[in-house]
Structure 1
Amino acid sequence: MSKKELAIAIVDLLGGKDNISNYVHCVTRLRFNLNDDSKADKNAIEALEGVLGITEQGGQFQVVIGTSVGEVFKEVELLLGNKGESVVQEEQKKFTLMTIIETLTAIIAPVIPAFTAAGMMKIVLLLLATLGIANGTEGVYITFNIISDIAFYFLPILIALNAATRFNVDQGLAVCVGAALLYPSFVSMVAEGTPLTFLGFQIPMYSYSATIFPALLGVLLLSYVYKFWDKIVKNNTAKVFLLPVLSLGITIPLVFLVVAPIANVGAGILANSFTWMIGTIGPFAGLIIGFLMPLMVLTGLHQSLTPIEIVEMSTYGYTMVLPIEFFHNIAEAGAAIGTGVVARDKKFKAIAFQTGATAFMGVSEPALYSVMVKDKFAMLSAMIGNAVGGFLSVLFALKMFSFLWPNIFSMPSFLGGDSVSKTLILLPISIVITFAVSFAMPIVFKVLGLSKDVNIAIMSPVSGKVIPLNAINDKVFSSGLCGKGFGIIPNDGEILAPCDGEIKIAMNHAVGIVAKNGSEILIHLGIDTVKLNGEGIKTLVKQDEKVKRGQSIIEFDKQGIEKKGYDTTCIVVNTTGEIKGGETTGEILVGKKLFSC
């Protein structure tokens, strides 16, 4: 399926263009706001080739694509065009913590490529200086240094531009609000400590370069002011001249006097919150955040950490939160590869190895949705590994001095400050320990008998004569198309559950059980007995019911069914993989081991 076909299918299965009010994308996900969530065909979307999974958070429908999300997003853009919706209106309907996180994600995500470029350039400059190739006075160095600072210094303008789309206000006016915070005369006055008053009110003098919230809240205020004057001024010609000047004339002074100072103080509190956690509980702060990180990434909540990381960078010159996200990717890689080692299913094993390598490169969603979601012990392994990485990160005071997407190639961003030599030793040690713990946990869980891939015994559900699968008079079963197993010619008319598990299928002539290790066991009564429409057969269990081994699941009139010309062979197969043992032929008693899987 091409990227265009995938985009068309996703939009169609979300209920069509008219059901999508807003859309953005991050590194691996398409994020949609829908007018009616019930119109989205979740199962069909998840089954699409190229879709790794779906998740819903805070009224946002997220489709996980992986590293090719940018290409799919371009095709979605061509289909939908500008579908931005006013978040002000949305918040009036539903204002929650998830709404805030969703808004921050929509505004900050488009800026991340600029941060990445700046961070990589800072690494280049660091290497040039460290190796003695440049001393900082060369034209090339100065030019590269400008590139490395642009995204951070002019961050208020970038935020204002994206906030304009989110809050549905004129982009030109929004950029003016962001640019006002960086106006050269104001910046000089702040640097020189020169006071500034407006109508007798003292303006708090702060530096707003590399900040998020002053511009974001300023544009939010602009959206209200603009809408207010739009209602007051009735003449369309007058609106062209009056709305811009009235909007900026009120918004920018209020931003300088109230909004920006409060936002700046709030950002400082946000940045100090993690410092407070470290000062209070030390490395256990990293352990807690690390343990929860896989779940945060799974649900998209990790995006809420980006503002903290950016504020840390602008306040301290480094971030201690981003390294925990770095170790998340290492943990996901270790857990996925470790799960691949113990997995018995060849397809799942290949997926685990492949997505583990992808996580190592910095994109963890494929491993999360293809491995962790399907195996709770793989997820727990990643959580434990990430907890260890977070603990070590804080214990060793590891910091990232450039805002880079965390992956194995961003390691140079840890080099900075006055502890480079220590970091060169402690960072590799922390990476190895994190990976080793994550890799080992799936193996430990298997040894303890907790893993999904632990073999379990499948008992004979009836007493009778065992026959090989190829001797069954039904090509679907004899060819192994439904899985590996055996047939049993029963001595009586009762079928018992061959293992503990949950009923997945409950029909008149067949029962499917999902065993505790994930294997799906099909117990099928007879050949073509579906034609009996339940006559002479009584199924004693229902779908989703929990059953115990030895519990009666089907009763049937053996003699009556055979008199009608039907074969009553009881067929038992594992539909999800291989079986072990089970070379038995001849008579077997109910409850005796038939095979393991």
Structure 2
Amino acid sequence: MNHRKTAEEILQLVGGESNVQSVIHCMTRLRFNLYDNSKADRKSLEQVDGVLGSNISGSQFQLIIGNEVPKVYKEIIANSSLSESKSAEGETKQKKNVISSIFDVISGVFTPILPAIAGAGMIKGIAALLVTFGWLQEASQTYQILTVIGDGAFYFLPILLAISAARKFGSNPYVAAAIGAAILHPTLTAMFAEGGSISFVGLPVTVATYSSTVIPILLAIWIASYVEKWVDRVTHASLKLIVVPTVTLLVVVPVTLITVGPLGAIAGNYLSTGTNFLFQNAGIIAMILLAGTFSLIIITGMHYALVPIMLNNIAVNGYDYMIPAMFLANFGQAGAAFAVAMRSKNKKFKSLSFTTALTATMGVTEPAMYGVNMRLKKPFVAALIGAAAGGLLYALTDVKAYIVAGMAGLPGIPTFVGPEFIFAILGLVLAFVAAAAVTWIMGFEDVMASAEETTTEEKTVNTATEADAEKASEVIASPLSGEVRPLAEVSDPTFAQEIMGKGMAILPSKGEVVSPVDGEVVTLFATKHAIGLKSTNGAEVLIHVGIDTVKLNGEHFTAHIASGDKVQKGQKLVTFDMEAIQAAGYDVITPIIITNTAEYENVTTLAEGTVNSGEAVLDLAVSATTSKEAS
């Protein structure tokens, strides 16, 4: 990459220097505060050499660069009137967009609990399939236990959401869980079931159903976060352990039962009723439009705002119409990418298109959507048309989703187990085939290999082979103590989608980062929230403490090393005030990324549950051939 050329192209395509209020960078991306985001040419920017993708978070325009971001940033500063001091100041004064903030909260709350919901949904789907094919009777104890396993996560969904929301809002997750448990308590449920009037200290308690609901508990924990912080601030340190949780519970649970809970339940019911009314009274148009535009919704990030409605629909009505539209959108993207793979003459791009088409059928559409279809434009339009065609069939046959069973792809097929199951499958096939056919008919301007790529291909392969020959398999230790989490649970898509490389995440229990390897500190970002290391065996490790913590500008972080320092495994690198960071509204989950993943055959997570710093967590394996060469 020519860093200066890349910097010049980026500055031009974001609307010119006059459109830049400020720019900073973190370990992976450039973060622009632009006067007008609409002046940034995102499509052209994503074609610039070295740019992996783009994202808008709040009102901040972000370009994902990767390991080379410090060099590109340096060239932007060096070749413009922008300054580092002005950039830092601009970041701190940047106002947040309210709607984007709401989407960010919903995404941050639901992402960690999706595995539990997906797993439970799959079990419900498997049980339904076993009954459908006559392999299991509904009256059998096996079926009843399977139902309990599948329904558990949904019935106690408020507790799961309470824990996740507390982490997002920076309050105590266990106090939040206690709030969720209180509103689901059997005694309270029985009082509601009796149908008589209920009061608390003379104030009327409105009867409401809280199991499987979403909005009431989110509102409750949001309020709890403010109550807890206020009580903590006015309470003497010696009394905080008892006073803070006691007052929080005594205030928030009654407030939830008397006002917040009923209002949230009513709002949720209205959302479900409104959705059903739309599909029942404008069914064909509604499903066609939703399926045909769902990929656009995903691009904006607004699909996160629909998750509570989807879950609430299933909880209240037993079915949902939006989840099927998401399936159709994904299969439309898959079909368009598959047609590109069939027609492209560029071997490298053909392989990319085929691979991304396959992953899209499994429910992961971003590679196909951003890497292939949007890049070529016409296939993306074809994908929308294919999804709309499937939407027509779904509208005519009234296809619904009855459970939440993982990603909207082949693994999630049990979602449709019900009377319209066959039509659900036919609709997915139609979306795929229609998108592929329209892509084939419309055609596209193929991606051609440049002369430079063609003449240097053999040299690149040889260089990579020589580099691999120096690599050796390596075990990476945990840089923190805490709970092991998969990257998919990280709310930042750059990490969750493994754009920077494979790895894992840790939800820390202690604010101390130690070196996971013997090696060198390649980069210590100025805000001290992220460290780049290179081990003596060549592994490149990125440790990113928290999500969006770059905005703290180093507050609550203390560095014990500097760039260029030699370090040993277990040596203290950075300490941070975990509670203060959470109180400021930031998630402290910490991704540990192997940024040179491509140089290894496998990157395998070795640990689960709770780990201590220094314990083995990642295994980096090279191929047998490479190992032999290295020896």
TM range (shorter): 0.5 to 0.7
One-letter amino acid matched to 2:404 = F
1:253, 1:342 → 2: CA distance? 63
Q: 1:237 to 1:443 in 2, by over 3 A?
A: same
1:300, 1:336 → 2: CA distance? 21
What's the counterpart of residue 193 of structure 1? 195
Q: 1:111 to 1:477 in 2, by over 3 A?
A: closer
Q: Contact 2:122/2:414 (CA < 8 Å) preserved in 1?
A: no
Tell me the secondary structure at the aligned position of residue 174 of structure 1.
helix
Matched, 1:365 2:362: no
TM-fit CA distance, 1:380:
0.6
What's the counterpart of residue 226 of structure 2? 224
What's the counterpart of residue 161 of structure 1? 163
What's the counterpart of residue 437 of structure 2? 440
2:25, 2:31 → 1: CA distance? 9
Q: How do residues 9-88 of structure 1 correspond to structure 2 at under 5 angstroms? A: 15-16=25-26, 53-59=53-59
1:378, 1:202 → 2: CA distance? 58
Tell me the secondary structure at the aligned position of residue 114 of structure 1.
helix
Please list the CA deviations of residues 429-482 of structure 1 after superposition, one character each: whole Å capped at 9, or x if unmatched. 322322221001122213xxxx32499xxxxxxxxxxxxxxxxxxxx9999849
Q: Contact 1:294/1:379 (CA < 8 Å) preserved in 2?
A: no
Q: Contact 2:31/2:61 (CA < 8 Å) preserved in 1?
A: no
What's the counterpart of residue 384 of structure 2? 383
TM-fit CA distance, 1:100:
0.7
TM-fit CA distance, 1:115:
1.2
Q: Contact 1:64/1:365 (CA < 8 Å) preserved in 2?
A: no
What's the counterpart of residue 81 of structure 2? none
What's the counterpart of residue 270 of structure 2? 269
Q: 1:431 to 1:171 in 2, by over 3 A?
A: closer
Please list the CA deviations of residues 365-416 of structure 1 after superposition, one character each: whole Å capped at 9, or x if unmatched. 1101210221111111111111222232223210111102221233333122
TM-fit CA distance, 1:258:
0.5
Q: Contact 1:52/1:370 (CA < 8 Å) preserved in 2?
A: no
Please list the CA deviations of residues 153-177 of structure 1 after superposition, one character each: whole Å capped at 9, or x if unmatched. 1100000000111111111211111
Please list the CA deviations of residues 56-112 of structure 1 after superposition, one character each: whole Å capped at 9, or x if unmatched. 2425788999xxxxxxxxxxxxxxxxxxxxxxxx99953521111110010011111
What 5-or-longer segments of structure 2 have no aligned partner?
1-22, 35-41, 66-91, 458-631
Q: 1:396 to 1:64 in 2, by over 3 A?
A: farther
The alignment yields a C-alpha RMSD, in angstroms, of 3.5
What's the counterpart of residue 107 of structure 1? 109
2:360, 2:183 → 1: CA distance? 39
Q: Percent of aligned pairs with the same residue?
A: 31
Structure with larger Rg:
1
Q: 1:477 to 1:123 in 2, by over 3 A?
A: closer
One-letter amino acid matched to 2:129 = L
1:161, 1:185 → 2: CA distance? 22
Please list the CA deviations of residues 164-210 of structure 1 after superposition, one character each: whole Å capped at 9, or x if unmatched. 11111111211111111101101111222233101222111111000
Q: Contact 2:215/2:265 (CA < 8 Å) preserved in 1?
A: yes
Tell me the secondary structure at the aligned position of residue 445 of structure 2.
coil
1:479, 1:433 → 2: CA distance? 38
What's the counterpart of residue 286 of structure 2? 285
1:169, 1:63 → 2: CA distance? 31
What's the counterpart of residue 341 of structure 2? 340
Q: Contact 2:31/2:62 (CA < 8 Å) preserved in 1?
A: no
Matched, 1:323 2:320: no
Q: Contact 1:343/1:453 (CA < 8 Å) preserved in 2?
A: yes
Q: Contact 1:107/1:162 (CA < 8 Å) preserved in 2?
A: yes
Tell me the secondary structure at the aligned position of residue 367 of structure 1.
helix
One-letter amino acid matched to 1:381 = A
Q: Normalised by the size of structure 1, how large is the TM-score? A: 0.61
Q: Contact 1:377/1:445 (CA < 8 Å) preserved in 2?
A: yes
Tell me the secondary structure at the aligned position of residue 56 of structure 1.
strand
Q: Contact 1:359/1:367 (CA < 8 Å) preserved in 2?
A: yes
What's the counterpart of residue 445 of structure 2? 452
1:337, 1:322 → 2: CA distance? 23
2:196, 2:238 → 1: CA distance? 41
Tell me the secondary structure at the aligned position of residue 375 of structure 2.
coil
Q: 1:175 to 1:444 in 2, by over 3 A?
A: same
Q: How do residues 136-175 of structure 1 correspond to structure 2 at under 5 angstroms? A: 136-175=138-177
2:313, 2:451 → 1: CA distance? 62
Tell me the secondary structure at the aligned position of residue 373 of structure 1.
helix
What 5-or-longer segments of structure 1 have no aligned partner?
1-12, 21-31, 66-89, 456-475, 484-597
Matched, 1:245 2:252: no
TM-fit CA distance, 1:128:
2.4
1:362, 1:481 → 2: CA distance? 37
2:186, 2:453 → 1: CA distance? 79
Q: 1:353 to 1:180 in 2, by over 3 A?
A: same
Number of equivalenced pairs:
398
Q: Contact 1:156/1:211 (CA < 8 Å) preserved in 2?
A: yes
1:98, 1:306 → 2: CA distance? 15
TM-fit CA distance, 1:333:
1.0
2:416, 2:63 → 1: CA distance? 32
Matched, 1:430 2:423: no
What's the counterpart of residue 298 of structure 2? 297
Please list the CA deviations of residues 495-537 of structure 1 after superposition, one character each: whole Å capped at 9, or x if unmatched. xxxxxxxxxxxxxxxxxxxxxxxxxxxxxxxxxxxxxxxxxxx
